[in-house]
Chain A
Amino acid sequence: MDWQDEGIIVGVRRHGETSAIVELLTREHGRHVGLVRGGRSKRMQPLLQMGNEVVTEWRARIEDHLGEYRLEAKTMRAAHIINQSSALFALGHMCGLIRLLPEREPHHGLFDVMQIVLDKLSDSQLAAPLVIRFEQHILTELGFGLDLTECALTGAREDLAYVSPKTGRAVTRAAAAPWLDKVLPLPAFLIQNDQPFLMPDQQSIIDGFALTGHFLERHVYGPRGQEEPETRRSFIASILKRNQTATP
């Protein structure tokens, strides 16, 4: 068995004295794990960092085997963001989310989404809305996607302003009026698919993280007995602090 693909490194673990077990999000083969012989060498260590993009060749005698990777660098992204706290926290959080996906199941489009988000992590304005979108995408891939196309109560497609915390479906401002203490605010940037992207304000970012955070906790972290990861908390704190200092 062998194949070639592109991949983003989402995890590296030591294996014995000299090798490493590397976890990739590949374009065609989804989340995939393999052994890299000599992965702990000085030559390989700069490459085997989360966020780096590689061209990979995977080989195994039988498909079920762990198999071996041969990796070649494509984009050395980790070195570019290693000095930026918010970008590093976001990278750690995103890689953690990828590791929640089942192994060896193709997730078409997710590779491209992650590529785009990783390339913009250094942009403090864009990073937050993109990470929120990424979380929304992961929820969809895990089978808990939010339905933000129409109102769950009236079927209306205009003035969607809230999300039901139970169903994850959008609700219009008028229909949500009796349950304002229960519904979650829906930031406009999550539904403006056909319109030019408008940079969200600080409150929209807070609302966006609260929205995806609620469903991640409800469907992902809670059932697994996990807490919200520290990297997510640190990323949100860091990005909000930076935006606050940037705003006069």
Chain B
Amino acid sequence: MAAVTGPEIERLIQLLARVPGLGPRSARRAALHLVKKREALLKPLADAMQIAHERIITCTTCGNIDTQNPCTLCGDPRRDDSLIVVVADVADLWALERAQVTTGRYHVLGGVLSALDGVGPKDLAIESLIQRIATGTIREVILALNATVDGQTTAHYITELLSTYTLTVTRLAHGVPVGGELDYLDEGTLHAAIRQRTAV
């Protein structure tokens, strides 16, 4: 079939189709929408992306992404210096910040240990975490990692590494989510919930 549009628009569609959540059809719709709203949307979006490309950097302290180094969170004096929340990815950091559940500092590992994907300890920011802890100001490390086999293997690995330091290592609870109905939960989650039940 002959191309309906020129190569420039086709390239735009192809690039948009690589964005998570967009397939070829939705990318085509998004491209058409951008072209139609050229001044109101396409131009500002292109400018914003250009600026993001130029200015966004990775924080050398925690691994978060920001336009400054140290990042806004590392530079915030109101945050608790004695607490580090370890997350696998920047998306997890954002999720915790959205929920406003902790005032501690963060440390982004950049993934989890995975033999299948060939991710070993050297591929993660574990060494820099140890260096931060070795300063002696940290009292607690919260391992906010996914409740998956890979996530918890990483958590146990870090826990073993930190066993020589005088600090408390905690991890997130596993169990029934808010709004969860027991009837619909898998037996693994129910098992974890019963095992980690708390006194009321």
Residues of A within 8 A of B (CB): 11-13, 17, 23, 45-47, 49-52, 73, 76, 78-80, 82-83, 85, 88-89, 91-93, 95-96, 99, 229-231, 234, 237-238
**11 A-B pairs whose Cβ atoms sit less than 8 Å apart in the complex:** A17-B21, A52-B188, A73-B187, A79-B189, A79-B191, A79-B192, A82-B147, A88-B156, A89-B157, A92-B153, A229-B115
- List B contacts of A76 (CB < 8 A): 186-188, 191
B154 vs chain A, min Cβ distance (A): 10
| Interface pair A234/B157, CB less than 8 Å apart | yes
Query: By the criterion CB–CB under 8 Å, are A78 and B186 in contact?
Result: no
CB distance from A228 to the nearest CB of B (A): 11
Per DSSP, chain B at the interface is: helix
Complex contact B186–A92 (CB within 8 A): no
CB pair B156 A230 closer than 8 Å:
no
Report the bound CA distance from A73 to B186 in whole Å.
9
A99 to B115, CA, bound (A): 10
* Complex Cα gap A116–B159 (Å): 28
Contacting residues, chain B, for A79 (C-beta < 8 A): 186-189, 191-192
Taking the closest CB of chain B, its distance from the CB of A41, in whole angstroms, is 12
Q: How many B residues touch the partner, as a band?
A: 20 to 34
Q: Which residues of A contact B149 (CB under 8 A)?
A: 49-51, 78, 82, 88, 91-92
Considering the complex, give the chain B residue whose CB is closest to the CB of A79.
B188
Q: Which residues from chain B contact A95 at a C-beta distance below 8 Å?
A: 115-116
Residue of B nearest to A76 (CB): B188
A83 to B21, CA, bound (A): 33
The interface residues of chain A lying within 8 Å CB-to-CB of B157 are 85, 89, 230, 234
Bound CA–CA A12/B195 (angstroms):
26
Contact at B153–A231, with CB atoms within 8 Å? yes
Segment 140-195 of B: residues with Cβ below 8 Å from A: 147-150, 152-153, 156-157, 159-160, 174, 186-189, 191-192, 195
Contacting pair B189 A46 (CB below 8 A): yes
| CA distance in complex: A8, B97 (Å) | 37
By the criterion CB–CB under 8 Å, are B160 and A231 in contact?
no
Residues in chain B near residue A229, CB distance under 8 A = 115
Q: Is the CB of B192 within 8 A of A88?
A: no
Query: In the complex, what's the smallest C-beta–C-beta distance from A7 to chain B, in angstroms?
Result: 16
CB distance from A35 to the nearest CB of B (A): 16
Report whether A82 and B152 are in contact in the complex, using a CB–CB cutoff of 8 Å. yes
Chain A positions within 8 Å of B113 at CB level = 92, 230-231
Cα of A248 to Cα of B120 in the assembled complex, Å = 35
Q: Are A230 and B120 in contact (CB under 8 A)?
A: yes
Residues of chain A with a CB closer than 8 A to B21's CB? 17
Min distance, Cβ B176 to any Cβ of chain A, angstroms: 13
Q: How far, in whole Å, are A12 and B121 apart by their CA atoms in the complex?
A: 20
Minimum CB–CB distance for B86 against chain A, Å: 16
Given contacts A78-B149, A82-B147, A88-B156, contact A96 B115 (CB under 8 A): yes
- Flag if A230 contacts B121 (CB, 8 Å): yes
How far is A79 from B152 in the complex, measured between Cα atoms in Å? 11
Residues of B within 8 A of A52 (CB): 188
Q: How many angstroms from the CA of A12 to the CA of B151 in the assembled complex?
A: 13
